[in-house]
Amino acid sequence: MNFAPILVAVFAGLFLGEGFFARLLVGIGVAFAGVVLIAVGGTGPHADWLGIALGLTAAVLYATGVLVQKVALGHVDGLTATFWGVAAGVIATVPFAPAAIREVSTASVSDIGAMVFLGIGPTAVAFTTWAYALSRTSAGALTATTLVVPAVVIVLSWLLLSEVPTPLRVVGGVLCLAGVAMTRGLIRVPSSRRLRVVEDQLEECKVEP
């Protein structure tokens, strides 16, 4: 799923005129390397190829959604964009409404409370805040900050679920944080001649919006 920021950065540079910068390209690469370490840093080999394929599909759809939202935010405010995005989700899940009603009727108070929290916190508040930020910065740079999520998950799962991280996952988390810091300019990234050549080649491929 964390392949999405790379897709957003590339396509935003090509189609939204955001360009390509050394700190963004290198930072995303470093953070993504951290994501890979977190993914393979578990205990025991296991590969669910269907799950991986579905995850990559989700990443492509997520990246497409960010780009479409960035364009939409040029015409509407963040709250409106979030409202219509959630409304589209409601329409898409209408076929599952009967099952949802049955399950809610038998759910515990704690389960309903968790569902309400998911609706208010990670959905309403988080998506509105995201839209506000996206309307004021580039899609590539903002999406790169989501690469810090795996590192945060490691810490929270350790504190709340007693899931002790493996050393490889700790290293991956550090790389995630360092990569995001690079994309935001908190860690300086020297631009080599080879990287500047790559940037120039990508600039030549850029399509004017």
For the chain, 209 residues long, give each residue's pLDDT as a single digit of tens: 777 887 888 788 777 777 767 777 788 888 888 878 877 776 555 557 787 788 888 888 988 989 999 999 999 998 998 899 889 989 999 999 999 999 999 999 999 999 999 999 988 899 999 999 999 888 888 888 887 888 888 889 889 988 888 888 888 888 888 887 877 666 666 655 555 555 555 555 544 44
Name residues whose C-beta falls within 8 Å of residue 11's C-beta, 6 or more positions apart in sequence: 63, 67
- Please choose, from the candidates 119, 136, 132, 118, the residue with its C-alpha nearest in 3D space to the C-alpha of residue 80: 132
97, 105, 114, 115, 157 from 111: Cα distances, Å: 17, 11, 5, 6, 19
d(CA 205, CA 19): 10
d(CA 6, CA 4): 5
Any idea of the CA torsion for 167, 172, 173, 178, to the nearest 10 degrees?
130
